[in-house]
Amino acid sequence: MENLQKMTDDVLVALYSKGNNQAFDILLERYKDKLYSYIFFSVRNDELAEDIFQETFVKAIVTIQQGRYTENGKFSAWLTRIAHNLIIDLFRQEKNENVVSNDETEVDLFNNIKLSDDTIETKLVNEQVLRDVRRLVDVLPENQREVVYMRFYQDLSFKEISEITGVSINTALGRMRYALLNLRRLAEEKNIELTIY
């Protein structure tokens, strides 16, 4: 199993397609947290996120076992694309009637940012800035919020974002540009200073 840990995603996929279940276990372990975070960020509901997460991996397993997986990029981007499509299908079924509420849960999407621990005051100020930014991101239009999350929290390239969302790279870049402009405007309107110390 230790040798499998060092293998690339594509090699692990090939091994799994030939019957090596441990290879898929490694892939699942590599991407489960990142994928679940993306899904939860989109649907804002634990049970729904868990259902979509499981359905994503079921679709991945079936596709690989049927020999239909093509190595055209990163495995993680392919998984995210499957999840994205399932989320879109869900929202289409619910006809975008604001079924998902931002008030259902508090999610700290900024837990990867290392806050300065010089003083308690500095830490409190930084935490407030991050809460303010999270609230601002939450009010962005869905397509802008999605691009911001994929770029900054999943560290995906704009090429990967365009493939996952099914739009051109220019459209993905445009959405990011408008998201940043909207964040600046919203911060100014609400007199929020977005400087972390």
Yes or no: domain 108-197 corresponds to CATH 1.10.10.10? yes
Q: Where are the domains of the chain?
A: 1-102, 108-197
- Taking only the tens place, the pLDDT of each residue in 182-193 is 888 888 887 766
Whether residue 197 is predicted with pLDDT greater than 50 in this model: the reply is no
Residues 6+ apart with CB under 8 A from 129: 192, 193, 194, 195, 196
Q: How confident is the model at residue 125 (pLDDT cuts 50, 70, 90)?
A: low
Dihedral angle, C-alpha 186, 152, 54, 143, nearest 10 °: 40
Q: How far apart, in whole angstroms, are the C-alpha atoms of residue 156 and residue 164?
A: 10
pLDDT bin (cut points 50, 70, 90) of residue 65 is confident
Q: Does domain 1-102 have CATH number 3.30.360.10?
A: no
pLDDT at 185: 84
Q: What is the pTM of this model?
A: 0.56
Highest mean pLDDT among 36-45, 96-105, 124-133, 146-155: 36-45
DSSP secondary structure of the chain:
-HHHHTS-HHHHHHHHHTT-HHHHHHHHHHHHHHHHHHHHHHH--HHHHHHHHHHHHHHHHHHHHTT----SS-HHHHHHHHHHHHHHHHHHHTTTSS-S-TTS----TTTTS----S-HHHHHHHHHHHHHHHHHHHTS-HHHHHHHHHHHTS---HHHHHHHHTS-HHHHHHHHHHHHHHHHHHHHHTT------
Reading the block at residue 87, the tokens are 């989320």
Mean pLDDT of the chain: 79
At 123, the pLDDT band (50, 70, 90 cuts) reads low
